[in-house]
Amino acid sequence: MTMHDVISDERRVRGPGLQVLVGRVPSRGVTFDVGYISAERSPALFPCRQLHRARSFAAIGCALVLFGLTACHSTAPITSLQRFEFAELHMATVFRIVLYAPDETTANHAAETAFRRIAKLDDLLTDYDQNSELMRLCRQPVGRPVPVSRELFAVLQKSQKLAARTDGAFDMTVGPLVQLWRASRKSHVLPDAGQIAEAKRACGYRNIALNARNRTVVLKVPHMRLDAGGIAKGYAADEALQLLRQMGIPRALVAASGDIATGDAPPGRPGWNVGIESIDAPLTGLSRSVILRHAGISTSGDTEQYVEIDGRRYSHIVNPATGLGLTERIGVTIIAPNSTDSDRLATAVSVLGAAKGLAFIESQSACAALIVTLTNGGTQVLESRRFPRLTGAPAARDSQPKAPESSSARTLPVR
């Protein structure tokens, strides 16, 4: 599939400092307009590679919105760094890179290299391509140690550790249930108890054995299907950010839909100003933002990705215990030392629920959470104790947060 198979009425629009792709997608997925990107994760878009590059956008329409980035331009004569923006389509979503570099040639080379890294991880970790390393692993004989790449082993290792700590609330082996749920979202028919029971027999994080010395993986039961959807984007954002730093571009941000990895702060700023678009925003008009550097932030919720079946609303996030999409209206924002952690933790807390999820985050020394739930009785907003301290953000119910004006703003420590 090519980009022209997905986007109709494609054209380039140029203006002062602006070059964007304008087009329309005939079904769920991505809609583009001048200076604006609206991104929704969709399997139909997975085969697409390059979307476009642009020097400047007004906003990115995903779970996390970057506010006031134009204000991050440095006008100080002590630096010659310029701000550049790029965007490409990977992992069924828009990956956006914002970086500061001395010139356009350096910026273009750095962005192209980072996107190639993301594309490689896309190839390794997708479950939509039967030739990906992840899917080839799933086809190996039961009980056989299988050597895997460094990247796949790292993702599996991090996933297994969190699965054990959350008693399976986060579980990469949930793939058979995810396949059932994808079919239900399309057909608007719930899977029956027999289908769920059969799928569950091929699930369970205890059915994976990892050998770190040999970097091998053993799948213990037949028909297992792994799903990296709750960690892959955050991991790819971290890997791209690390590569940019190695290339001498430490002042950068990589955004993969609702998962963002931040590096050094923009010139003259205390950090990156990241806006949180929570599930209660349409009801309360509440606007929240945080200032971050050297941190990951992820938001998970069902504002855009949900389905109603038999009068009940279900999220795209599958609960491994029930085999169905979550029914609690919950939006979770996690701040962690990196985007890999924030991505996987956002999924885990969504499954655990507000009370258990908050308690779990409170037990993690380097993480913070903002959890919003919607019920017929109203809205509940929960913050972990470290949320304001780690972010320098105002209290969650402040409707007009302002970015700090000096470098004394409280941010995550430089790591």
d(CA 52, CA 23): 12
So what's the pLDDT on residue 258? Answer: 86
Q: pLDDT digit string (tens) for 310-341?
A: 888 898 899 999 999 998 889 999 999 999 99
Mean pLDDT in residue range 171-192? 94
Residue 195's pLDDT band (cuts 50, 70, 90): very high
**Domain topology for 294-390:** T-fold (3.10.520)
How many C-beta neighbours within 10 Å does residue 141 have? 9
So what's the pLDDT on residue 200? Answer: 96
Residue 21's pLDDT band (cuts 50, 70, 90): very low
d(CA 412, CA 339): 13
- What are the strands, taking DSSP E only, across 234-360? 252-256, 259-262, 272-276, 288-292, 295-300, 306-309, 312-315, 329-336
Q: What's the whole-model pTM score?
A: 0.78
So what's the pLDDT on residue 145? Answer: 98
CATH 1.10.3980.10 placement within the chain: 133-219
d(CA 226, CA 223): 10
CATH 3.10.520.10 placement within the chain: 294-390
**Domain topology for 133-219:** T-fold (1.10.3980)
How many C-beta neighbours within 10 Å does residue 214 have? 10
CB 232 within 8 Å of CB 184: no
